[in-house]
Amino acid sequence: VRVPSRLDARFVLSNHVYDPRQAAGKSPEEITEIITREPAIGAVLAEIRSDGTLFADKPLTFEEFMSHFSREPSADMFVLFLSRDSESEKVERGGLDVLVAEDSTGVIRFLQLLVLYAVQFGAVGDYDIAGLRTFVAKYAPGVVFANRPLSDEDVLLLAAAADLGVPVCSYGNCVIPITSVKPIAQHEVIPTVKAMCLKGRFHHAFDAKPATGEAAPSDYLFEAGGTVNSFFIVRAMGGIDGVDVRGKPGKDMGIIIDLGDDEVDEAMTAYLEGVVEKIISARKDLSISTRHGFKIKWSSPTFSAQELGEYIHKGLKSQFSLKKVSVSVLFDPLRLAAIKGTILAYRDTRRKKLDGQNEANSSFYVCRRCQSYAKHHVCVVTSERPPSCGLTYEMVKTMAHLSASDDFVSVRRGELLDGRRGEYSGINKIVRVLTEGHIQRIFLHSLSQFPHPTSALLENIAFVIPEVDGIGIVSRGYKGVTPASAKFTDLEGRAAGRQVAGVVGVSDLYIKSPKFMHAEGGLARVVWMTSELKKRLDLESLRVATEKDCTTVAGLKRFYQATRNE
């Protein structure tokens, strides 16, 4: 058995479950004895294709592993069924990561995911089998349901899973000769998965709805809006809770939603307008567009303006803790024309207020939604530091004040310790508590010292290029190499779930923020970025190299030398 390199993907599992150096030079009989003594090693030998029991399918790439975490809602638990059946289909609809292993290679894949999960998000080190067992047992990232007859390899691998602390349940006529296996009745499968999800704080799994696959109707019976008098707005204003419809449906239409709760402010109303659009679009008989003026259509002959108002009212109240939601649906052209000016003025004032937000005059929040899988990750969200996943400050603020979710929390920043780097005493304290001491300090706007931790949900990655004393930014989707001699996935693997000096996940919004990596000199220090990102952020006038100019440090030096000589 050769000693694996950490970069050799085939040995990811073996590296972390068992140090294969112990098996070097052993006879097949001795290896069999080792497997019997420590079942997790069975998984190791299954993984070592060239030297061990040979039934591995193919190595799990880092990209394949990370793909499990970049969806919404993101997964935090792998549910393995040994055969597809009615129970596995029910769980699939819940939005969990459901794997089906019709043969033993699928079980290996599941074990690989668990091990990589513990390594990536639990900081379990090489050969630390005790740490691996503790992490898997504590955070319950996996559960197995055995529901078909088993091969010898299956038994070995399930023993390995149980040995790692994964609950293994069996139902149907599947009997596993392992003492820790829990036989359960078929109807207990879903409650078991639900209980496991709650343990892992994965609240969203069972809220996800299956796609109906039905297309939106193309023939709408009613259409309003799109005229100069039409508008749609959500305001932070008092009003009578309920729905009010004025006038008869015609071409002009206005919807005013006034939110009278004290917590609601302008920043939230900007986000809530998008929420109302989503509520309306969720019905297949309704359609809304706001891009080129507000327009709404519906296809049901029995649907009325009153029902539309009630649907919006109910939708907002069910998602947020709002007491006073006043929905007005207006069709009277004269009235609409008379109030259009005040609507535009409100929008204008709101835009100016949002543009004027900065860290000195707006509140701070933390989001720990990604802790459902990255146990020691937390995001600090400010108006000048939106998170790497692309959520907006306004959304995080709204969720913290108006939703029942405990993922989003308003926090006290404490004393400003360093304005250039963005260090606050209160933020350090709360981050220490929420990461169980894994992160002690955060410089919100620094790349190279105590940077903000990176989750698995990231639009781009900023990295230090020490040779040219500059910053590079690579966007998700770019497959090539960067001047850091690494691809996006390599950098993602280094930083996801951790605080890593010199490599940090950043969103498009943060790159455009005046505080972007302020400690290092901000956008002016960026020397390389992917061309797609440069275009997307409308930064094409900047003298910054892209992959079209160079992908190495030597190339970068040549690029800037030539630029200087121009």
Least spacing, CB of residue 366 vs ligand SF4, in Å: 8
Let me know: does 80 contact 87? Beta carbons within 8 Å.
no
Least spacing, CB of residue 361 vs ligand SF4, in Å: 21
- Regarding 395 and contact with ligand SF4 (CB under 6 A), the answer is no
Give the three-state DSSP class for 256.
strand
- Regarding 476 and contact with ligand SF4 (CB under 6 A), the answer is no
Among 35, 245, 379, 544, binds ligand SF4 (CB under 6 A): 379
- Regarding 275 and contact with ligand SF4 (CB under 6 A), the answer is no
- Regarding 367 and contact with ligand SF4 (CB under 6 A), the answer is yes
For ligand SF4, the closer CB: 73 or 249: 73
- Scan residues 497-516 and list those touching ligand SF4 (CB under 6 A): none
- Scan residues 522-561 and list those touching ligand SF4 (CB under 6 A): none
Least spacing, CB of residue 408 vs ligand SF4, in Å: 8
HSE-up (13 A, CA, CB side) for residue 528: 32
- Scan residues 112-151 and list those touching ligand SF4 (CB under 6 A): none
Say if residue 274 is exposed, middle or buried (CB neighbours under 10 Å; 0-12, 13-18, 19+): middle
Let me know: does 447 contact 454? Beta carbons within 8 Å.
no
Least spacing, CB of residue 167 vs ligand SF4, in Å: 27
- Regarding 392 and contact with ligand SF4 (CB under 6 A), the answer is no
Find the part of the chain contacting ligand SF4 (CB under 6 A) among 124-132, 311-319, 383-391, 550-558. 383-391
Least spacing, CB of residue 364 vs ligand SF4, in Å: 13
HSE-up (13 A, CA, CB side) for residue 490: 12
- The Cα 494–Cα 498 span in angstroms is 8
Find the part of the chain contacting ligand SF4 (CB under 6 A) among 48-56, 156-164, 384-392, 409-417. 384-392
Among 147, 192, 455, 475, binds ligand SF4 (CB under 6 A): 455
- Regarding 389 and contact with ligand SF4 (CB under 6 A), the answer is yes
Strands 286-289 and 231-236: unpaired
Q: What's the DSSP call for residue 452? A: P
Q: Is 191 left (phi over 0), alpha (psi -120 to 50) or beta?
A: alpha
Task: Tell me the β-bridge partners of 242.
Answer: 326
Alpha helices in 94-245 (DSSP H): 104-122, 129-139, 152-163, 189-199
Find the part of the chain contacting ligand SF4 (CB under 6 A) among 183-191, 363-371, 428-436, 542-550. 363-371
- The Cα 16–Cα 116 span in angstroms is 9
- Regarding 457 and contact with ligand SF4 (CB under 6 A), the answer is yes
- Regarding 391 and contact with ligand SF4 (CB under 6 A), the answer is yes
Q: Could you tell me the CA-to-CA distances from 494 to 77, 115, 384, 411 in Å, in that order?
A: 22, 16, 25, 29
Let me know: does 296 contact 287? Beta carbons within 8 Å.
yes
Find the part of the chain contacting ligand SF4 (CB under 6 A) among 13-21, 128-136, 388-396, 558-566. 388-396
For ligand SF4, the closer CB: 13 or 370: 370
Find the part of the chain contacting ligand SF4 (CB under 6 A) among 83-91, 354-362, 364-372, 433-441. 364-372
Q: What stretch of H or E contains 33?
A: helix 28-37
Least spacing, CB of residue 458 vs ligand SF4, in Å: 7
- Regarding 388 and contact with ligand SF4 (CB under 6 A), the answer is yes
Least spacing, CB of residue 434 vs ligand SF4, in Å: 10
Cβ partners under 8 Å of residue 562, min gap 6 = none
Q: Using only C-alpha atoms, what is the Rg of the chain?
A: 27
For ligand SF4, the closer CB: 121 or 311: 121
For ligand SF4, the closer CB: 368 or 445: 368
Cβ partners under 8 Å of residue 218, min gap 6 = none
Least spacing, CB of residue 497 vs ligand SF4, in Å: 11
Least spacing, CB of residue 309 vs ligand SF4, in Å: 32
Q: What stretch of H or E contains 366?
A: strand 364-367
- Scan residues 207-266 and list those touching ligand SF4 (CB under 6 A): none
Among 16, 235, 313, 369, binds ligand SF4 (CB under 6 A): 369
Residue of 402, 404, 411 lying closest to 378 (CA atoms): 411
Buried b (16+ CB within 10 A) or exposed e, 103-128: ebbbbbbbbbbbbbbbbbbbebeebb
For ligand SF4, the closer CB: 35 or 411: 411
- The Cα 281–Cα 273 span in angstroms is 12
Least spacing, CB of residue 391 vs ligand SF4, in Å: 5
Per CB under 6 A, residues contacting ligand SF4 are: 367-370, 379, 387-389, 391, 455, 457
